[in-house]
């Protein structure tokens, strides 16, 4: 896709240093909004999103994802919001932060990325730079997105417009590792553009940047970050399955092994969210497209995707051993989000537990004070209860380690169950003696 007669972008380093440019952030979700807020403190910034309700909420000064505080929103004095495509014609740098999900066949769904590229192409001008932050497989920016930009704009890549890639590293709910305090990988379609992209991010990233040698290298670096974590968690999940059969407490084993300086501190559990449970499929898709079957990565995915069913089988077996009838039993699932202390429901694997329990004609109550009930119903057909009932449940599963749950003592948790019940702690918020089951 590279052009031999490479031109130059209209921007120069002094434009960045003197804040003489306008930026548009396309997509104002968990990734885009924090980025737009930081750039909006320094540059005229447009936050573009097709969700009018989302923009109205932000204009009122509140972020429902809780990634940005009301005070931080108010502090971004140069940030404005729009759904008007034509308003984008005033900017020189477009930053794409839309989701990159997978479909029901675990194949990459680049539809949001293509639509964002089409939107940009309608106002793209000579010398503009388009930076992608969305997680993709190596080659997607230049092989899949650039043709959309060229087709829609009528301009030529690396002659009329340029591209960069700087993968997002947002960790939802994490108030310590924020967009500015996480080191940022940057890349550009030419050496000069790479320098410009790197300089641009350095204006807001206090942790510094790492300039990759190419866009493909930066894409690959991003997709393996979460693939590595996925495979490591799969190993620990498999160890938990083995140790459970042997009657050994997995957490005790991991604590003992963790006394060695180079033992990695992974824990077993459900693997969901917008990154770890999704990104590996982007890499395996590309690997298979070039003729390689990635056995370890896919094996890890299969194992992690099966953990919900395993949890239910362990719970039901223990209930049966205690003489609790399964059909018509009532189980409380505590937590629905994909991780603790945030409202993010994307790709949560707690739904696997809920659906598996229902297969056995078990009545399930889901309790999660962090989630929006309408969103849970819309996305998964689950309506969380406002509060769990006392003395009502045959089984209780602590599926998410929200602080609210961790602060409940075991007596209060046990009070939710019937006289004979099973308490399953997936998140190690209880001691081995306090829980009936642990992963």
Residues with a catalytic annotation lie at 275
Distance of CA 241 to the CA centre of its chain: 26
Q: The tokens 């992974």 sit on which residue?
A: 266
Q: What are phi and psi for residue 317, nearest 5 degrees?
A: -60, -45
Chain centre distance of CA 40 = 23
Residue whose C-alpha is closest to residue 184's, from 158, 203, 159:
203
Whole-angstrom distance, CA of residue 174 vs CA of residue 178: 7
Cβ atoms of residues 220 and 138 within 8 Å: yes
Q: How do beta strands 129-132 and 162-165 pair?
A: parallel
SS3 334: strand
Closest C-alpha among 160, 153, 88, 87 to residue 126 = 160
Q: Which residue has the tokens 């939107």?
A: 119
Give the Cβ contact number of residue 299 at 10 Å.
13
Distance CA 111, CA 99 (A): 9
Q: Which of 386, 352, 349, 356 is nearest to 371 (CA)?
A: 386
């Amino acid at each position: 896709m590279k052009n031999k007669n490479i031109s130059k972008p209209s921007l120069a380093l002094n434009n960045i240093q003197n804040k003489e440019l306008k930026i548009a952030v396309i997509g104002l979700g968990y990734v885009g909004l924090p980025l737009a807020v930081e750039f909006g403190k320094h540059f005229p910034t447009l936050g573009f999103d097709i969700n009018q309700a989302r923009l109205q909420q932000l204009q009122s000064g509140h972020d429902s994802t809780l990634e940005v505080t009301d005070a931080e929103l108010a502090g971004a004095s140069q940030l404005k919001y729009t759904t008007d495509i034509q308003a984008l014609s005033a900017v020189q740098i477009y930053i794409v932060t839309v989701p990159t999900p997978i479909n029901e066949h675990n194949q990459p769904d680049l539809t949001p990325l293509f639509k964002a590229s089409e939107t940009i192409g309608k106002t793209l001008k000579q010398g503009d730079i388009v930076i992608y932050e969305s997680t993709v497989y190596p080659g997607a920016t230049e092989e899949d997105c650039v043709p959309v930009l060229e087709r829609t704009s009528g301009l030529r890549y690396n002659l009329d417009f340029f591209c960069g890639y700087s993968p997002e590293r947002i960790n939802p709910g994490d108030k310590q590792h924020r967009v500015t305090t996480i080191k940022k990988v940057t890349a550009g379609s030419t050496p000069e553009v790479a320098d410009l992209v790197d300089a641009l991010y350095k204006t807001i990233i206090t942790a510094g940047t790492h300039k990759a040698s190419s866009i493909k290298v930066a894409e690959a670096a991003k997709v393996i970050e979460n693939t590595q974590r996925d495979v490591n968690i799969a190993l620990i999940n498999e160890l938990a399955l083995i140790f459970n059969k042997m009657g050994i407490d997995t957490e005790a084993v991991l604590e003992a092994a963790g006394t060695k300086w180079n033992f990695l501190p992974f824990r077993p559990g459900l693997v969901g969210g917008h990154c770890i449970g999704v990104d590996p499929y982007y890499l395996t898709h590309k690997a298979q497209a070039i003729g390689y079957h990635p056995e370890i990565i896919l094996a890890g995915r299969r194992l992690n995707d099966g953990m919900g069913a395993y949890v239910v089988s362990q719970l039901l077996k223990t209930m049966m051993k205690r003489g609790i009838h399964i059909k018509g039993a009532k189980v409380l699932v505590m937590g629905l989000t994909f991780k603790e202390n945030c409202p993010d429901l994307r790709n949560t694997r707690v739904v696997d537990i809920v659906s598996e329990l229902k297969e056995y004609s078990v009545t399930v109550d889901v309790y999660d004070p962090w989630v929006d009930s309408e969103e849970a119903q819309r996305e998964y057909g689950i309506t969380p209860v406002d509060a769990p009932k006392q003395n009502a449940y045959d089984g209780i599963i602590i599926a998410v380690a929200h602080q609210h749950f961790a602060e409940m003592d075991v007596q209060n948790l046990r009070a939710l169950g019937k006289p004979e019940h099973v308490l399953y702690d997936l998140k190690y918020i209880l001691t081995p003696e306090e829980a009936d089951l642990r992963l």
